[in-house]
Amino acid sequence: MNDRIRKIVVTGVLGAISIFLGITHWGFIPWFSGASLTIMHVPVIIGAVLEGPVVGTLIGLIFGVFSLIQAAVAPSGPTDVWFTNPLLSVLPRLFIGIISWLVWKSLKKNPTVGLIASGIAGSLTNTVLVLGMIGMLGFIPWQALPAIALVNGLPEAAVSAVLVLLVVAAVRQIKVGRGKSKL
């Protein structure tokens, strides 16, 4: 399959997975804080690592636009109305793939470390930019945001790191575990 067609297919498939995770709510893991841990950004990270920053950005756009539409059409909580603002629902998601790809590109000589770091970086990009925009828009006081980042952001980053490592290692047939990982 030529490179361009593969990128289009990967974008479509991972974009569809993001939408599926949102519609079914499988992309939200119940968490003790009463909030949910999201893995909605994981397809964005995987797409960026596998196919580059343009694919990651396009999947991030799909994720963001879906978040906006879902918040407007089928809100599931009182804060969902905030996500009808594209500055909150779309803009931060455009950077997940770019940051994930940059981290992957700089660390891919050690694939295990690179994949774990890409998963963490992409997840934290989502957390920091979404919470930052929530603060900028005045929805929550700035003082409350670090606690939210710690309680939700760090566990999301850990889950993302594991999922990105497992999925990309399987797709690229990267051997992980004891000894040095190889491409």
Distance CA 48, CA 63 (A): 13
pLDDT of residue 113: 96
What tokens does 149 get? 């980042």
In the three-class reduction of DSSP (H, G, I as helix; E, B as strand; rest coil), residue 75 is classed as coil
Residue-wise pLDDT tens digits, 45-97 = 999 999 999 999 999 999 999 999 999 998 888 888 999 999 999 999 999 99
% of residues, the chain, pLDDT over 90? 80
**Amino acid identity for residue 107 in this structure:** L
**Residue 77 CB neighbours (<10 A):** 10
% of residues, the chain, pLDDT over 70? 94
pLDDT of residue 37: 82
| Mean pLDDT (the chain, rounded) | 92
pLDDT of residue 181: 57
pLDDT of residue 77: 81
pLDDT at 38 over 60: yes
pLDDT of residue 158: 96
Class for the domain spanning 3-172: mainly alpha
pLDDT of residue 180: 55
pLDDT of residue 34: 64
Domain boundaries of the chain, sorted by first residue: 3-172
pLDDT of residue 33: 60
Distance CA 182, CA 165 (A): 13
E strand map for 61-179: none
What tokens does 160 get? 């993302």
Distance CA 49, CA 181 (A): 16
Q: Are 161 and 124 in contact (CB under 8 A)?
A: no
pLDDT at 35 over 80: no
Q: Regarding predicted confidence, which is higher, 45 or 174? A: 45
Look-up of token digits 């997840």: 123
In the three-class reduction of DSSP (H, G, I as helix; E, B as strand; rest coil), residue 9 is classed as helix
Q: At what angle do helices 53-73 and 96-107 cross, to 10 degrees?
A: 150
Distance CA 181, CA 176 (A): 5
